């Protein structure tokens, strides 16, 4: 296997005395992993920060072998995440992506979306904008993995207007009238996800919405320790 590509650093796992197994997100090959010799050295420590973009070369004699990776920093963005919400968003999104995706399964839309969110983090986006971007990225990730939400029409009536809830079972939108008797069992549908304005209450509701389906369908039993970071981020959006 020979791969030369741009990649976003997602996670680093110590391996051996000084090396590291690093997971990357690539535009055309999705999640890939490689062994970086000296990956925990002072030379590579600032390079292999989650969120940075690197020129990545992977080499392996057979597909089942962990590839040897060489990296060259092309965009240093992790160090530009200086606020609490920015640090939490960067930690959460890179960890989620590294945990949720299968290796060598292309997700070009996710690569573009993650790249855009990390660029916003590096540019100093505020907590509300970051929260909105995180929710939208989570929705995209759910869709890419086959767990997409249908927010276009009411599951009960087919109506396309006045949508206010989402069924936690079917993942489909529900109109205000049809859902009112069952409001306590439904998830609120934030207006900003269907063309409305963005506000703190809506973004928090967005975290509740995507969080339900992430925990049900994606994170189940693995990586649940990451959820504390997400909870702290959700508390900082307003």
pLDDT in tens, the chain (238 residues): 799 999 999 999 988 788 999 999 999 999 999 999 999 998 999 999 999 999 999 999 887 789 999 999 999 999 999 999 999 999 999 999 999 999 999 999 999 999 999 999 999 999 999 999 999 999 999 999 999 999 999 999 999 999 999 999 999 999 999 999 999 999 999 999 999 999 999 999 999 999 999 999 999 776 778 999 999 999 998 6
State whether 87 and 27 are in the same domain. Answer: no
pLDDT confidence of residue 224: 78
pLDDT confidence of residue 22: 97
- SS3 call for 31: strand
Q: What number of other Cβ atoms are within 10 A of residue 172's Cβ?
A: 17
pLDDT confidence of residue 222: 63
- Residue 138 · residue 110 · CB < 8 Å: no
pLDDT confidence of residue 17: 81
State whether 144 and 221 are in the same domain. Answer: yes
Instruction: Say if 171 falls within a structural domain.
Output: no
Residue for token digits 């999104």? 93
What is the distance between the alpha carbons of residues 38 and 180, in angstroms, rounded to a whole number? 59
State whether 111 and 207 are in the same domain. Answer: yes
Sign of CA dihedral 145, 150, 151, 156: negative
pLDDT confidence of residue 63: 73
State whether 114 and 202 are in the same domain. Answer: yes
Instruction: Say if 197 falls within a structural domain.
Output: yes
Helices 84-100 + 227-234 axis angle, to 10: 140
State whether 60 and 128 are in the same domain. Answer: no
State whether 108 and 71 are in the same domain. Answer: no
Closest to 238 (Cα-Cα) out of 132, 135, 119: 132
State whether 101 and 71 are in the same domain. Answer: no
What is the distance between the alpha carbons of residues 70 and 59, in angstroms, rounded to a whole number? 9
Instruction: Say if 115 falls within a structural domain.
Output: yes
User: How far from chain centre, in Å, is Cα 208?
Assistant: 15
Last residue of a domain, one of 76, 110, 132: 76
Instruction: Work out whether strand 30-36 and strand 67-75 pair parallel, antiparallel, or are unpaired.
Output: parallel
Closest to 233 (Cα-Cα) out of 130, 95, 108, 115: 130
State whether 63 and 107 are in the same domain. Answer: no
Give the pair of three-digit tokens for residue 197: 């304005």
pLDDT confidence of residue 18: 87
State whether 127 and 14 are in the same domain. Answer: no
What is the distance between the alpha carbons of residues 183 and 8, in angstroms, rounded to a whole number? 41
State whether 100 and 205 are in the same domain. Answer: yes
State whether 17 and 50 are in the same domain. Answer: yes
Closest to 211 (Cα-Cα) out of 120, 149, 160: 149
> Is this prediction's pTM over 0.75?
yes
Instruction: Say if 178 falls within a structural domain.
Output: no
Instruction: Say if 168 falls within a structural domain.
Output: no
Instruction: Work out whether strand 67-75 and strand 163-166 pair parallel, antiparallel, or are unpaired.
Output: unpaired
Last residue of a domain, one of 28, 48, 76: 76
pLDDT confidence of residue 237: 85
Instruction: Say if 54 falls within a structural domain.
Output: yes
Last residue of a domain, one of 52, 76, 100: 76
pLDDT confidence of residue 16: 79
pLDDT confidence of residue 238: 66
State whether 33 and 83 are in the same domain. Answer: no
Instruction: Say if 159 falls within a structural domain.
Output: no
Give the pair of three-digit tokens for residue 201: 């209450």
Instruction: Say if 40 falls within a structural domain.
Output: yes
For the stretch 54-93, what's the b/e string if a residue is b when 16 or more beta carbons lie within 10 angstroms of its beta carbon? bebbbebeeeeeebebebeeebebbebbeeebbbbbbbbb
What is the distance between the alpha carbons of residues 150 and 39, in angstroms, rounded to a whole number? 42
pLDDT confidence of residue 64: 73
Q: Domain limits at 43? A: 2-76
The total of structural domains in the chain comes to 2
What is the distance between the alpha carbons of residues 123 and 126, in angstroms, rounded to a whole number? 9
What's the CATH number where 6 sits? Answer: 2.40.50.140
């Amino acid at each position: 296997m020979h791969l030369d590509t741009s990649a976003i650093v997602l996670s680093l796992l110590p391996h051996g005395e000084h090396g590291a197994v690093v997971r990357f997100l690539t535009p055309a090959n999705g999640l890939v992993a490689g062994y970086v010799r000296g990956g925990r050295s002072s030379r590579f420590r600032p390079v292999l920060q989650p969120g940075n973009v690197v020129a990545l070369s992977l080499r392996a004699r057979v597909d089942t072998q962990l590839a040897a990776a060489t990296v060259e920093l092309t965009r240093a963005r992790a160090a530009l995440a200086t606020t609490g919400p920015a640090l939490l968003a960067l930690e959460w999104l890179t960890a989620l992506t590294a945990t949720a995706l299968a290796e060598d399964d292309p997700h070009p839309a996710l690569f573009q979306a993650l790249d855009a969110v990390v660029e916003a983090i590096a540019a100093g986006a505020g907590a509300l904008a970051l929260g909105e971007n995180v929710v939208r990225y989570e929705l995209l990730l759910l869709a890419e993995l086959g767990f997409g939400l249908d927010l276009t029409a009411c599951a009960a009536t087919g109506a396309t207007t006045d949508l206010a809830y989402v069924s936690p079972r079917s993942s489909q939108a529900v109109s205000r009238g049809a859902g009112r008797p069952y409001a306590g069992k439904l998830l609120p549908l934030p207006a900003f996800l269907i063309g409305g304005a963005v506000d703190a209450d809506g973004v928090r509701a967005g975290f509740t919405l995507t969080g339900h389906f992430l925990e049900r369908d994606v994170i189940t039993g693995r990586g649940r320790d990451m959820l504390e970071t997400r909870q702290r981020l959700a508390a900082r959006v307003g």
